[in-house]
Structures are given as structure tokens and as C-alpha cells.
Amino acid sequence: MADTSLNPFMRAQQSFKEAVETLGVEPGVYEILKQPMRTFEVAVPFIRDDGTLQVFTGYRVQHNDALGPTKGGLRFHPDVNADEVKALAMWMSVKCALLGLPYGGGKGGIACDVDQLSEGEIERLSREYIRAVSLVIGPDKDIPAPDVSTNPQIMAWMVDEYSRIRGENTFGLITGKPLVIGGSEGRVEATGRGLVFATRQLAKEMGIEFDHARVAVQGFGNVGSVAASIAYSMGAKVVAVSDKDGGLYNAAGIDVNDLLEYKRTNRNLTGYPKAEPIGNRELLELPVDILFPAALENQITADNAQNIRAKIVGEGANGPTTPEADAILFDKGVMVVPDVMGNSGGVTVSYFEWVQNQSRFYWSENEVNQRLQEYMSRAMAAMHRMHERYGVTLRKAAYLVATDRLAQAMRVRGWLK
Ligand code: GLU
């Protein structure tokens, strides 16, 4: 039998199904949530540096807008496909509802390999993507943001292109922008900061001292590198980190600031002299207190879950653990901070950025971080209440909170009768 648990779209459907059944709400809630309201597939033509024209496939998915305009990142990755983007949009609906943000879930992306593109090509591709989806996005409709392999510079080109099409500056179109054109203080660090915050809180409840914990981090992008750096600054021992080309291990701990400096000059982690090379798979199985999978989907599966030795898995990536692996971890007593909670700091500060854009009034980094903490604590408390009430995993509890809110919104809006 094919392992459907590796298909993130089917997994997202299954999670909503279980939540609707556990809550005992109208079956129509599942009928609506089991697929996105709108899925756009676009052809994105752009001119390569050598003058040839190439066409890439792009997507934008709007899962459910009962709670507000849809919101979610854009990823540039060779594996981007319709089912993946649909699942990621569904997970955004859960994240936004869980955090109490006035948004539904959206997501988008382009199937491409940024390592094969020059900066000029990435700019032209980004602008063409916005032209292709400009009719369906907007500050009150659907608000993109960064995700895997996209960054503030790409957001800047995109908001510029949209503003040109509209004939007016529309900074509220997109979040994760550079500060000088309406970005928010704290947005770049928000996902990693939130991940450390949520994981540290759970560790405390389990009697594990995060500030002295041994930590391994898979993925050294915007989420993993910030989480590693904050954990290191708190005193935790970061024994291993990795990126897509492989990892580094030092049982005595890695100086994360030094490594960040090395990455700035060398562009990747390879060859760093103060640690041993380690494979991505081995990294996941290290004897640590805390494991942060902060790369891509399907990293902890039925194949390796049994070998995980961490006490807590704090999910920075979206969908790193399959349901079968989840069950194995649960039986082993490994606690999991689910992705929809663990990486929700990003979209939460994106919401703050959008509020600042719409009100033209900007906050200090302190205000941003303090509000981030408030939103995350509230969501963690709601998740915990469901965890205790229904005796389910934290992931299932997060889905219960979110599905209940989505059901309430659809009910009062009259969608269910
Ligand atoms: N891409 C991020 C996520 O998966 C952030 C989305 C946003 O800021 O809208 O949560």
C-alpha cells in the first residue's frame, strides 16, 4: 500500500477530518475545509540572462477566507507542486486561526531552482509572477510573504511591481519587506524567535532547562539559523546544524556567531574547521535534548522516528513529521511542538507588519517582540486546554482550536446551512 502520509495535502485533509469528528461540529465544516476555495496555477514567462525566454509554473492557493483575507508565504523550490502548495495553504489556515489572527490560509510558489538563477533573473521572475497573480492578490484579499528561498529583497521587487500595476504604493500587499519600505522590526527573526519561545516554554513544563540543553538544528536558513543563534545566546549547547549540503557536529558545542560569520563569507557551511561533517539524517538521530527540524517536509518518517533520541522536537519547518512518525514519537514519549504552533511567529509578526502598513504607524522592536510573546502564549494556552480536555497530542489539540474557530466563523457567516 502506498504511504499516503507522505502526501502533505492528504495529511492536511485527514487532520481536519479528525478535528471535525472530535469536536462534533457540522460535517459541512469538513466538506468546506477539505480543499482550498481557490487554486491558481500560472505560467510565468521571463527572459534569461542569455536572452532566451523560459516559462516556469507558479501557484497561489487561497484555502479559506472565513476569518479574513488569506495570508501565507511564497516559496521558490524545484519540488513546488499543486498538492504541496494546497497543503501549505491549509496549514496556514490552522496557524492563523490558532494564533487568533484575522486571516485565512494562503500559499504560493514557483517550481524553480534559485541556485541556477542570477540575481537579475530572480528579479524578473519575481516581477512576472506578481503580474500573473496580480488580479487575485491584494492587501484586503490575499497577502504573500517569504517562505523557503525567498527573502526581503524578493518581497521588495514584488511590492514594487504590484504598486506599479496599481499606480499607487501598496505596502500592505506583502509582508517580510525590507524595513525602509514598510517592513517590521523583528520580522526577519520572528519565526526562529517564536520557535525558541514555544519550545522553551514546553521544556520548562517538562522540567528541562532549555538554557543548558543540547540542541541540534536541521536547516540553517531564516528559521534554523535564527533559532540556533537565539538558543546559543541563551546558553544552550548547539551541537549540530545543517543545510541542504550537509551538516556540522561538535559534541562540545558550536559557536553559532562564529559559524554565521563563516557562512556570510563562504555562502554555505561546508568546510567549517571547528566541527566535524555530519549527514542530515545522522543529525536527526543525535542524542540531544532538543531537535529543531527547520528545513522541509517529511524529514521524520516511519523510517527514522524510532531512532530519534531528542526529548523535544520543535518544528520550525512546515510538515517535517509524518503522522506515522508522530505516533511513534508519541509512544516513545518524545514531545512535539507542532509546526502550526512552533513556526507561527513568522505569520504573527507578518500580521503586525500589515497592521503597521495599514495604519502608517510603526512600532519599536521591543513592542513587536512583546506582542509576539503575548500572541504565542495565548495560543499555547488554548492548545494546552484542548490537549488536556481531549487527551490528544499537541498537534491534534492545535487543529481542534483552529477548526473550532473556523467553524464558528463559517457558522455565523451562514456558510453551513
Ligand atoms: N512562510 C511563513 C509560514 O509558513 C510565513 C507566512 C507569512 O508571514 O505570511 O508561516
Per-residue pLDDT tens over the stretch 297-330: 999 999 999 999 999 999 999 999 999 999 999 9
Percent of the chain at pLDDT > 90 equals: 97
Cell of 68: 479574513
204 catalytic residue (yes or no): no
Domain membership flag for residue 42 = yes
Please identify, by atom number, the ligand 1 atom nearest to the C-alpha of residue 88.
Answer: 4
User: Do residues 43 and 126 share a domain?
Assistant: yes
For residue 167, how many C-alpha atoms fall within 13 Å in the half-sphere facing its CB?
A: 0
β pairing state of 290-293 and 214-218: parallel
User: Do residues 161 and 298 share a domain?
Assistant: no
pLDDT band at 363 (very low <50, low <70, confident <90, very high): very high
User: Do residues 291 and 313 share a domain?
Assistant: yes
User: Do residues 153 and 241 share a domain?
Assistant: no
Domain membership flag for residue 355 = no
Q: Which entry of 71, 107, 311, 396 is annotated as an active-site residue?
A: 107
Q: Which helix (H) or strand (E) holds 174?
A: none
pLDDT at 145 (0 to 100):
98
pLDDT at 78 (0 to 100):
97
- Domain around 252: 190-342
CA of 105 to the centre of ligand 1 (A): 10
- Residue 24 and residue 213: Cα distance in Å, rounded? 40
How many helices (DSSP H) and strands (DSSP E) are in the chain?
14, 13
Side chain identity at residue 79, one-letter code: D
User: Do residues 170 and 227 share a domain?
Assistant: no
CA of 146 to the centre of ligand 1 (A): 6
pLDDT at 244 (0 to 100):
87
pLDDT at 1 (0 to 100):
42
Please identify, by atom number, the ligand 1 atom nearest to the C-alpha of residue 343.
Answer: 10
User: Do residues 159 and 197 share a domain?
Assistant: no
Q: Are 121 and 49 in contact (CB under 8 A)?
A: yes
pLDDT at 3 (0 to 100):
57
Name the domain boundary from 130, 151, 179.
179
Helix, strand, or coil (residue 55): strand
Domain membership flag for residue 264 = yes
Please identify, by atom number, the ligand 1 atom nearest to the C-alpha of residue 344.
Answer: 10
Reported as a single tens digit per residue, the pLDDT across 192-243 is: 999 999 999 999 999 999 999 999 999 999 999 999 999 999 999 999 999 9
Average pLDDT, the chain: 97
Phi, psi angle pair for 3, to nearest 5°: -85, 95
Distances (CA, A) of 68 to 5, 154, 184, 190, 354: 30, 25, 21, 22, 13
User: Do residues 90 and 141 share a domain?
Assistant: yes
Domain membership flag for residue 111 = yes
Mutate to test the pocket of ligand 1, among 343, 351, 357 (most ligand atoms within 8 A of CB): 343
**Backbone φ/ψ region at 59: left (φ over 0), alpha (ψ -120 to 50), beta:** beta
Cell of 291: 531537535
Please identify, by atom number, the ligand 1 atom nearest to the C-alpha of residue 175.
Answer: 8
Domain membership flag for residue 28 = no
User: Do residues 75 and 104 share a domain?
Assistant: yes
CATH of the domain at 221: 3.40.50.720
Please identify, by atom number, the ligand 1 atom nearest to the C-alpha of residue 74.
Answer: 1
Side chain identity at residue 374, one-letter code: E
Instruction: Name the domain count of the chain.
Output: 2
Exposed/middle/buried for 252, CB within 10 Å: 0-12, 13-18, 19+?
Answer: exposed
| Closest by Cα among 269, 254, 338, 250 to 300 | 338
Kindly list the strands in the beta sheet with 214-218, ordered across the sheet, starting from the edge strand earlier in the chain: 276-278, 246-249, 237-243, 214-218, 290-293, 312-314, 335-337
pLDDT band at 4 (very low <50, low <70, confident <90, very high): low
Reported as a single tens digit per residue, the pLDDT across 138-192 is: 999 999 999 999 999 999 999 999 999 999 999 999 999 999 999 999 999 999 9
Name the domain boundary from 134, 156, 179.
179
User: Do residues 282 and 196 share a domain?
Assistant: yes
CATH of the domain at 144: 3.40.50.10860
CA of 257 to the centre of ligand 1 (A): 25
Q: Are 152 and 182 in contact (CB under 8 A)?
A: no
Q: Which amino acids bring their CB within 6 angstroms of ligand 1?
A: 71-73, 95, 145, 147, 175-176, 318, 343, 346-347, 350
Name the domain boundary from 315, 342, 369.
342
Q: Are 113 and 75 in contact (CB under 8 A)?
A: no
Mutate to test the pocket of ligand 1, among 75, 84, 92 (most ligand atoms within 8 A of CB): 92
| Closest by Cα among 87, 399, 349 to 195 | 349
User: Do residues 206 and 305 share a domain?
Assistant: yes
**Per mean pLDDT, which range of 70-74, 200-204, 242-246 is the poorest?**
242-246
User: Do residues 172 and 230 share a domain?
Assistant: no
Which residues have C-beta within 8 Å of that of residue 293, sequence separation ≥ 6? Answer: 218, 219, 284, 299, 300, 313, 315, 316, 317, 320, 321
Q: Residue 185, Cβ neighbours under 10 Å: how many?
A: 20
pLDDT at 343 (0 to 100):
98
Q: Are 69 and 142 in contact (CB under 8 A)?
A: yes
pLDDT at 5 (0 to 100):
73
Q: How far is CA 293 from the centre of its chain?
A: 11
| 2 pLDDT higher than 70 | no
Domain membership flag for residue 145 = yes
Domain membership flag for residue 141 = yes
What's this model's pTM, rounded to 2 decimal places?
0.97
Mutate to test the pocket of ligand 1, among 350, 351, 368 (most ligand atoms within 8 A of CB): 350
- Residue 217 and residue 239: Cα distance in Å, rounded? 8
Domain membership flag for residue 270 = yes
> Which ranges in 206-279 belong to alpha helices (H)?
222-234, 256-266
User: Do residues 112 and 214 share a domain?
Assistant: no
Reported as a single tens digit per residue, the pLDDT across 77-125 is: 999 999 999 999 999 999 999 999 999 999 999 999 999 999 999 999 9
CA of 127 to the centre of ligand 1 (A): 20
Nearest CA to ligand 1 atom 9: 72
